[in-house]
Amino acid sequence: MQSNAALEYDYSVAKLYMLTTVIFGIVGMTIGVLIAAQLAFPELNYLLGEYGTFSRLRPLHTNVVIYGFTVSGIMASFYYSAPRVLKVSLGELPAINALAKLGFAAYLVAATFLVISLGMGITASKEYAQMEWPLDIAIVVYWVIWGIVMFGLIGARREKALYISMWYYIATFLGVAMLYLFNNMEVPTMFFSGGLGAWYHSVSMYAGTNDALVQWWWGHNAVAFVFTVPIIAIIYYFLPKESGQAVYSYKLSLLSFWGLMFIYLWAGGHHLLWSTVPDWMQTMGSIFSVVLILPSWGSAINMLLTMKGEWNQLTENPLIKFMVLASTFYMLSTLEGPIQAVKSVNAIAHFTDWIPGHVHDGVLGWVAFMIFAALMHMSTRIFKREIYSKSLLEAQFWIQTTGVVLYFTSMWIAGITQGMMWRAVDEYGNLMYSFIDTVSVLHPYYTIRAIGGVLFLVGVFMFAWNLFMTATAGRKLDQEPQFRSPMA
């Protein structure tokens, strides 16, 4: 059996995904800032003609940050950490290595066509599943390739027991596969109409209420298996590695893993409260959303307690700052979600800006912060260089944290204000406000949110610069750092 030190890992695929993380991050979040600003200043809708309206750009923003930035970040972390916890290098397995690179190529092709088709308005219209059937097939191929690579690595592993991160990566693979297949069942129209119309067009296999049920079973669990499960895989690897601390409790990780797997899938119904789906399904969605606090907080608390006795690192190491704040935002977000899933609260919150507010404290505070920390940590090992600038990292942390706080506080106020105004009645029981009154009142909050977005985007540019300089100009290291990433 080979020792860890003797194994030289092949990071070529991880590097490719690092690059796309940064590119898609910049593109997706720039579009995000633009559409946030459009709500405050509608003249910005006319920058790109037909292609520049809020409605056309919004799915571009969501898809590029989810499937571009986040999936790239997850894959970079996977290709870095999975070989290390399995103690096998991609370089030892030429076929698997080639397949991983082929997967990356397929990913780039699918991403390019996704951006083009969404820009043109070619869409199946289901949120976060807008791709038409040819792209769906490309994505299934990509996912199967990833599965083969993962199980190939597992098959060749030297460390027999799968580390916690691997549990979560396996769950990501299975969960997305199942959900994606069922939600994207669609019938291409060309085959049944004697070759009429656009070749890429399709109709959903399900109609109306059924379609909504399947879609939000997907929509909610895409959040589970893209924004939660793989990010937990990332924190379980990178926080102990960066801090040099052992994971606080094995039993807690076990409980949270199986608890999360079982409970998460039930909660999709909370997107459909007060809709036309049966009452009992809505109630189930509500109840399981509240129960979901347990496994979510289980993971977060396990991570925070991992820092027990070492809290001084929080002041000394910006990467620990990012990860600890990420777990804290995860706790905030997983408490906020269940609150919104309570039926009486949902009656006010649904359809308002509180929902995007909730999404963004999760994705900016938790997902993006974890990806930044993971990429910085691995850059010192991959490029064998010191992180270029600690002060830049510190500044990024505070600028982005301010941005996130501005974002979600303004959206809380906006959402609750609008929800209350929609239902406000005067002394005779008549509605007090016309719809446009409830839009005009939001202008200041939309402005604050756009400013929050700008701050976050500035941080992304600082991150990109820092990462680029680390890779090219950071001080060379003679040996791999054991724990804390060295930085200048």
Enumerate residues 361-420 that contact other proteins by CB under 8 A. Answer: none
Provide the sign of the torsion angle of the four alpha carbons 265, 113, 16, 452, taken in this order: negative
Contact 371, 73 (CB under 8 A): yes
Looking up tokens 């804390």, which residue turns up?
484
* Residue 138 near residue 113, CB atoms below 8 Å: yes
Using alpha carbons, select from 71, 51, 70 the residue that is nearest to residue 59: 51
Q: Which of 27, 141, 148, 178 binds other proteins (CB under 8 A)?
A: 178
CB nearer to other proteins: give 105 or 120. 120
Joined tokens for residue 259: 């608890």
Minimum separation from the CB atom of position 30 to other proteins (A): 18
Residue 321 to residues 326, 387, 401: CA-CA distances in angstroms?
8, 15, 11
Distance CA 367, CA 165 (A): 15
Shortest distance (Å) from residue 328 CB to other proteins: 27
Q: Applying CB under 8 A, which of residues 423, 472, 475, 486 lies at the interface with other proteins?
A: 423
Residues forming a β-bridge with 425: 431
Interface pick for other proteins out of 15, 101, 201, 384 (rule CB under 8 A) = 201
- Check binding of 55 to other proteins (CB under 8 A): yes
Q: Per CB under 8 A, which of residues 269..308 are in contact with other proteins?
A: 269, 271, 274-278, 281, 284-285, 288
Binding mask of the shown chain, residues 121 to 140, with x at each position contacting other proteins by CB under 8 A: xxxxxxx-------------
56 is a site residue for other proteins (CB under 8 A): yes
318 contacts 397 by C-beta, under 8 angstroms: yes
Binders of other proteins among residues 336 to 355 (CB under 8 A) are: 347, 350-353, 355
Please pick, from the candidates 7, 15, 19, 54, the single residue that binds other proteins as defined by CB under 8 A.
54
Among candidates 487, 470, 105, which has minimal Cα distance to 321? 487
Q: Does residue 211 interact with other proteins by CB under 8 A? A: yes
At closest approach, how far in Å is the CB of 154 from other proteins? 5
Rounded distance, CA 175 to CA 229, Å?
A: 9
User: DSSP character for 205?
Assistant: S
The footprint of other proteins on this chain (CB under 8 A) covers a number of residues equal to 93
Among 42, 244, 444, 486, binds other proteins (CB under 8 A): 42
Distance between CA 115 and CA 128 in Å, rounded?
Answer: 13
Q: Is 236 near other proteins (CB under 8 A)?
A: no
Binding of residue 187 to other proteins (CB under 8 A): yes
| Nearby residues of 292 by Cβ (< 8 Å), 6 or more positions away | 260, 263, 264, 267, 334, 337, 338
Q: Indicate whether 181 belongs to the interface with other proteins (CB under 8 A).
A: no
- 116 lies in the binding site for other proteins (CB under 8 A): no
Q: Which is nearer to other proteins, 73 or 285 (CB)?
A: 285
For the segment 158-177, give every residue that binds other proteins (CB under 8 A): 160-162, 167, 170-171, 174-175
- Tell me: does residue 192 bind other proteins (CB under 8 A): yes
d(CA 46, CA 371): 33
Rounded least distance, CB 123 to other proteins, Å? 6
Stretch that binds other proteins, among 4-12, 34-42, 63-71, 97-105 (CB under 8 A): 34-42
Q: Measuring CA to CA, how many Å separate 90 from each of 81, 83, 149, 374, 403?
A: 11, 7, 9, 19, 38
Pick the binder of other proteins from 422, 461, 465, 468 (CB under 8 A).
422
